[in-house]
Amino acid sequence: MTKIFPMIAKTLPGLEPVLEQELIALGANNIQIGRRMVSYEGDLKMLYKSNLYLRTALKVLRPIYEFDAEDIDILYTTLLHFDWSQWLTADMTFAVDAVVYSSTFKHSRYVVYKTKDAIVDYFREQTSGTKRPSVKLSNPQLIFHLHIAEQHVTLCLDSSGESLHKRGYRMEQDRAPINEVLAAGILLKAGWHGQCDLMDPFCGSGTFLVEAALIATGTPPGIYRESYPFERWPDFDSELCSEVYNDDSTERSFDYHIYGSDLSPQAIAKAKRNVTRSGMSRYIDLSVGDFADQHLPHPEAETEPKCLLVMNPPYGERLSDYDLEQLYSMIGRTLKFQFAGAQAWIIAHQVEHFHAIGLKHDLREELYNGSLPCELRGYTLFEGKHKEYKEQIAQRGEEAPQRRERGEAFHHGKGQEPRRHRSGYDKPSYSKGRGAQRTKGPRPAGSSSSGYKANIQTFGSDETFVHETEANDNE
């Protein structure tokens, strides 16, 4: 009988509804949206699929124990009596990280140390002091995640290790790059599924471009990873994992093209190398150029829209060599007069940036780019005045795009029919990792070269970001 258990997928603020839709598409059960997280239920196959397929998840956690603790002594005693042998042996290595939002437990580092002590003392009691597992901060065999909300404690297994936004294809980055999970979330909010051409005129190191190609072709974002921590769990099913990994039923053809440009030749050089690593070169054209000189790639296109533009222009927080008002004014003019028939999606930090664009938006949504509060705005681009555009739409018996404010639901388009056979992907230029080509047969075991770094977000708290703490075996 298949065992069903709870899981938690963590994400960035504002992407919870997108992650929910992804989980629905995967077939997860009992899905509930929380703060920077979505909880759900499934089996081992769902856990493997979650790590491989979810584009907007940062981590996938598996809760294994919940209890209430009034103080640090009760926390230690309760953890000491937990049956750690279900998951860990005295010969294994482990790490502990913690997120604490509590007036009782004020020091997350101390919580981690007491958790480590409880695990070690448990095995010392079981082996009469002869054996104990070791703490290892880099690439441990098991990672335990402790979350405390006031006095409620949730102990989880971390199935992902390093944050899932680190796909593996972006080995080089330009200044102020956008997070891969945020880029994928924006594309999904925009309804992108490969239905037309796509353009990013401020492409930097190419994150939007690669994420767009992965979505358009139905390629799972997790295939670049060499290994996952769940492969070292005692209930790991190698055959089932290979089945999930080698399933190409979600893949589909992509008949349009993706265009990226930037003023910086250095940025384009980095983008080319990242695109090559991703195996998506056949779909992506890169060039050095000014957005003010660009036009619709195919004005005669009969797609709706003719082109989808996504952009993350400079904010001025890290980049000081721009006249921001003139830059955003240029963006507005170029969109208005050179991209009629397209849709544009822009993420920016200041409301003044959007004022300089000077166009009416159809959508406004609050997001975070790193620690910066930002807005995402969507625009339908047309010739002439907005009133005339609405009249033309009404004459054709169609409905004009409805203006949606933050928090409203998004409708994602359906992709093209999936194809069963993978073909035409570029061979990644690096030797390690699986890139965009899967090897049929058993999934080879590997070890993450980057190790584990604890710095993920809370779930269910009011804090925006909480840094985690790991246990050190020498302390």
Domains in the chain and their CATH numbers?
5-158 (3.30.2130.30), 180-220+251-396 (3.40.50.150)
* pLDDT value of position 394: 54
Do residues 191 and 409 make contact, with C-beta atoms less than 8 angstroms apart?
Answer: no
Highest mean pLDDT among 21-25, 124-128, 385-389: 21-25
Closest to 114 measured CA to CA, from 69, 63, 66, 72:
72
Q: Which residue has the higher pLDDT, 37 or 425?
A: 37
Does the pLDDT of residue 421 top 90, yes or no?
no
| Cα 420 to Cα 231: distance, rounded to the nearest angstrom | 26
The pLDDT tens digits for 385-404 are 655 555 555 555 656 555 55
pLDDT higher than threshold 90 for residue 62: yes
State pLDDT tens for residues 258-314: 999 999 999 999 999 999 999 999 999 999 999 999 999 999 999 999 999 999 998
pLDDT at residue number 435:
42
The pLDDT value given to residue 405: 52
Interval 137-152 mean pLDDT: 92
pLDDT at 171: 82
CA 319 to chain centre: 24
- Whether the pLDDT of residue 326 is over 60: the answer is yes
CB 318 within 8 A of CB 175: yes
Across 47-75, average pLDDT: 97
Most confident segment among 40-44, 137-141, 467-471: 40-44
Angle of helix 16-26 versus helix 180-189 axis, rounded to 10:
80
The pLDDT score that the predictor gives to residue 376 is 97
Those residues with Cβ within 8 angstroms of residue 456's Cβ, 6 or more apart along the chain or in another chain: 10, 58, 59, 97, 99, 163, 468
Encode pLDDT of 193-243 as tens digits.
Answer: 999 999 999 999 999 999 999 999 999 999 999 899 999 999 999 999 999
Residue 400 CA to its chain's centroid (Å): 31
pLDDT at 173: 73
**How much is the pTM?**
0.83
Is residue 9 predicted with pLDDT exceeding 80?
A: yes
pLDDT at 386: 59
% of residues, the chain, pLDDT over 90: 69
| pLDDT computed for residue 7 by the predictor | 98
